[in-house]
Amino acid sequence: MIVERMKIPDVMLLKMRRYPDARGFFSETFSRRVLAEEAGIDCEFVQDNHSFSAMRGVVRGLHFQIPPVAQHKLVRVVRGAILDIAVDLRQRSPTYGQHVAKRIHAADWTQLFIPAGFAHGFCTLEPETEVLYKVSAYYAPAQERGIRWNDPQLGIEWPVAEGAAQLSDKDRALPLLAELPAFFRYGVAPTALEAAS
């Protein structure tokens, strides 16, 4: 596995190995042991989510869960492509309010690790895009939160115009970053699971 730390180092791009032959290829797409040994990511993923977006320009996010059920996420694209976004929500972090943006295409065979304490979202770059992601805590509607995708304070350069973006009504109504309580603090584990550092 190749590990690349992003401009916010707690967010990591992971490229898994593929073993091709005349029939196609084989790849071990998840190994807790390999993640711990090669990337320092040692957490238990308890739920897999699968998202299908029929159109280009679908925006999902920016979502997160608050403690005690904050989630680490391991995101990969199995069909199509996305611009994946992670926003640092950890109070007192040197990168608070900043974001990582990474294009992920199914053909690249990469995954993005997003630790708890970050809001996550993406925009589809191709129609019929499918995204799989593992999370380290079960979905908990009472602890689900988000921030508005087009908050000008975030400065995210989305690949779709505001009027053309396809969003849920729920996501359109999310608050701005400045309206958000301090759910996370830099240097303090937001869950019982340790975030990778």
- pLDDT, one tens digit per residue, over 132-148 is 999 999 999 999 999 99
pLDDT surpasses 80 at 157:
yes
The pLDDT tens digits for 10-65 are: 999 999 888 999 999 998 889 899 999 999 999 999 999 999 999 999 999 999 99
Q: Report residue 141: phi and psi, to 5°.
A: -55, -35
DSSP 8-class letter at 91: E
pLDDT surpasses 80 at 192:
no
The pLDDT tens digits for 69-100 are: 999 999 999 999 999 999 999 999 999 999 99
188 lies in a domain? no
Q: What is the pLDDT of residue 77?
A: 98
195 lies in a domain? no
Please, what is the average pLDDT of the chain? 93
In the chain, how many domains are there? 1
163 lies in a domain? yes
Q: Write down the pTM of the prediction.
A: 0.92
189 lies in a domain? no
194 lies in a domain? no
187 lies in a domain? no
CA distance 134 to 166: 24
Residues with catalytic function: 63, 133
> Domain span at residue 132?
2-176
Q: Are residues 70 and 63 in contact, defined by beta-carbon separation less than 8 angstroms?
A: no
User: What are the beta bridge partners of residue 184?
Assistant: 90
Contacts 24+ apart (CB under 8 A), 8-12: 8/86, 8/88, 8/95, 8/98, 8/99, 8/100, 10/115, 10/118, 10/195, 10/196, 10/197, 11/86, 11/100, 11/112, 11/113, 11/114, 11/115, 11/118, 12/39, 12/41, 12/112, 12/113, 12/196
pLDDT surpasses 90 at 183:
yes
CA distance 4 to 6: 6
17 lies in a domain? yes
* CATH for 15: 2.60.120.10
Q: What is the pLDDT of residue 75?
A: 98
86 lies in a domain? yes
